[in-house]
Amino acid sequence: MNPAPIIPGTLDLLVLKAVSLGREHGYGVLLRIQRASHDALLVEQGALYPALARLEQQGLIESEWGVSENNRRAKFYVLTRDGKARLKSDTADWKRFSAALEQVLSTPNLEALA
């Protein structure tokens, strides 16, 4: 199966979720998303960093410089309290949305709407 591109607007949610799993650098966030989706989602690498910057700008994640597993200097991100709250509400929203979408898509015929 070819990996699917990310639906516009959902990258921020995916990044928040990936960071919520623990302190991680940008490349690691990318890997987490791909692994978690079993390589079904394809994050465009260039879009990741503007997304991280945007979330940091909004105060949803924080960054600090540290040393990576391969002993390189790397910028690590962690979720803030605001970020946690946002992740929770956005996740709930998304679930509602996808459930609704699922219902619409699974409508068998016109009679089912009556």
Residue numbers at the binding site for another protein (CB under 8 A): 25-27, 44-47, 49-51, 53-54, 56-57, 65, 68, 70, 72-75
Q: Could you tell me the smallest distance in angstroms from the CB atom of residue 72 to another protein?
A: 6
Q: Which is nearer to another protein, 17 or 26 (CB)?
A: 26
Q: Which is nearer to another protein, 70 or 106 (CB)?
A: 70
Q: Could you tell me the smallest distance in angstroms from the CB atom of residue 94 to another protein?
A: 22
Q: Could you tell me the smallest distance in angstroms from the CB atom of residue 109 to another protein?
A: 45
Q: Which is nearer to another protein, 21 or 53 (CB)?
A: 53
Other CB atoms within 10 A of residue 48 CB: 19
Length of the chain: 114
Long-range contacts of 80-86 (CB under 8 A, 24+ apart): 82/58, 83/16, 83/19, 83/20, 83/55, 83/59, 84/20, 86/16, 86/60
Q: At what angle do helices 45-57 and 11-20 cross, to 10 degrees?
A: 70
